[in-house]
Amino acid sequence: MPSLIDMRRRIRSVRNTQQITKAMKMVSAAKLRRAQDQVLSARPYSALLRKVLANLAAAVGGDDRASSNPLLARRTENRILLLLFTADTGLAGGFNTNLIKAGQKFLEEHRDAEIEIEAIGRKGRDFFRKRGARIVAEHIGVALKPQFDYAAGIARKAIERFRSGEIDAVYVLNNEFKSMVAQRLTISRLLPAELPENAEMVDYIFEQPPNEMLESVLPRFVETEVYRSMLETAAAYHAARMMAMDAATTNAGKVIDSLTLFMNRVRQASITKQIIEVVSGAAASEE
């Protein structure tokens, strides 16, 4: 049976851990507010850009020049680039694990294709590097600090490779922020871009020909989607970490209560034993 000193040390150790997890929860909550504001600000812009793309698609109609746009070219997916968004650190429940499992499933479903992974985040990079996956690029320390210029650089590089025919498709795998307690795992095809079908024709007066505008908007759309994926990943990570640290703090409190109860029992048993020894000694001296 552990001594009282050992029990006090364990309680003190768990209490220190509880203070750390509580502080980490507060830090994640503060970061989440900023990340959530950025996501909510970016979503309307992304939605409006999709609407503009739909209107342009309706304007160009069945124009052959629009269908010949290199970003719309559909090819057999023999070479695929997967943009995998994970975090650089853990302590966020199943956030990184779920993304990695989804990445493994994607590789399994496309086993006949040559898949390249561009890892945005340390956790995804480390996992797939150890398992021999082909990682063509890595970006550490940027997933949770989204910057449009950096995201646009990633998108432009993917666009150039797709234009040149080095790759046949680009997919994005990330967690989408839904609420404080829920994130949605999403995998979507970024290239070739899909023009919305059956879009309602809007009577716009275009200053430039719709085909030229489509050529300008499509790259911008790809850049925006990569940036939005970064924002969604950052917000989802901070939400997951906040919930994980909250659960850890609660569990630490339960452990402290359990250890304190056990320590009190040990102390009570020690006091009872000492009383018995004193009473036995006094009885023996009277005889």
pLDDT digits (tens, 9 = 90+) for 64-100: 555 567 777 788 888 999 999 999 888 888 889 999 9
Give yes or no: residues 153 and 184 share one domain.
yes
Asked if residues 40 and 271 have their Cβ atoms less than 8 Å apart, the reply is no
How confident is the prediction for the chain on average, in pLDDT? 83
Give yes or no: residues 86 and 166 share one domain.
yes
- Least confident range from 3-17, 202-216, 238-252: namely 202-216
Instruction: State which residues form the domain around 8.
Output: 4-21+244-282
In a domain, 259, yes or no: yes
Give yes or no: residues 151 and 270 share one domain.
no
Give yes or no: residues 47 and 184 share one domain.
yes
CA–CA dist 271, 232 (Å, integer): 58
CATH code assigned at 128: 3.40.1380.10
CA–CA dist 34, 134 (Å, integer): 34
In a domain, 102, yes or no: yes
Side chain identity at residue 147, one-letter code: Q
CA–CA dist 150, 233 (Å, integer): 15
In a domain, 228, yes or no: yes
- Least confident range from 6-10, 151-155, 234-238: namely 6-10
Give yes or no: residues 158 and 248 share one domain.
no
Burial category of 287 from C-beta neighbours within 10 Å (exposed 0-12, middle 13-18, buried 19 and up): exposed
In a domain, 110, yes or no: yes
In a domain, 249, yes or no: yes
Dump the DSSP string for 20-67: HHHHHHHHHHHHHHHHHHHHHHHHHHHHHHHHHHHHHHHHHTT-HHHH
Is the whole model's pTM more than 0.85, yes or no? Answer: no
Give yes or no: residues 95 and 215 share one domain.
yes
Give yes or no: residues 275 and 182 share one domain.
no
Closest CA to 122 of 100, 101, 94: 100
pLDDT digits (tens, 9 = 90+) for 143-195: 788 888 899 999 999 999 998 888 989 999 998 888 777 788 889 888 887 76
| 26-53: average pLDDT | 84
List, in sequence order, the alpha helices (H) in 110-209.
122-130, 148-164
- pLDDT computed for residue 146 by the predictor: 86
In a domain, 287, yes or no: no
In a domain, 123, yes or no: yes
Give yes or no: residues 222 and 254 share one domain.
no
Give yes or no: residues 43 and 150 share one domain.
yes
Q: Which long-range contacts (CB under 8 A, 24 or more apart) does 147-151 make?
A: 148/223, 148/227, 151/223, 151/226, 151/227, 151/229, 151/230
- pLDDT computed for residue 85 by the predictor: 92
* Residue 27 predicted with pLDDT over 60: yes
- Least confident range from 26-40, 196-210, 251-265: namely 196-210
Residues pairing with 118 in the sheet:
83, 137
In a domain, 54, yes or no: yes
* Residue 238 predicted with pLDDT over 80: yes
Residues pairing with 170 in the sheet:
81, 191
Q: Is 73 helix (H, G, I), strand (E, B) or coil?
A: coil
CA–CA dist 141, 144 (Å, integer): 7
Give yes or no: residues 106 and 16 share one domain.
no
- Least confident range from 31-35, 47-51, 230-234: namely 47-51
Number of folded domains that form the chain: 2
Query: Residue 171 has which token pair?
Result: 């997919």
Closest CA to 241 of 6, 26, 8: 26
- pLDDT computed for residue 105 by the predictor: 92
- pLDDT computed for residue 198 by the predictor: 55
CA–CA dist 156, 143 (Å, integer): 17
Provide the percentage of residues in the chain whose pLDDT is more than 90.
17
Closest CA to 229 of 140, 141, 142, 129: 142
Q: Is 258 helix (H, G, I), strand (E, B) or coil?
A: helix
| 214-224: average pLDDT | 85
| 260-272: average pLDDT | 78
Give yes or no: residues 213 and 225 share one domain.
yes
Asked if residues 209 and 69 have their Cβ atoms less than 8 Å apart, the reply is no
For the chain, the distance separating the N- and C-terminal CA atoms, rounded to the nearest angstrom, is 34
Give yes or no: residues 118 and 211 share one domain.
yes
Provide the percentage of residues in the chain whose pLDDT is more than 70.
86
- Least confident range from 67-81, 93-107, 109-123, 202-216: namely 202-216
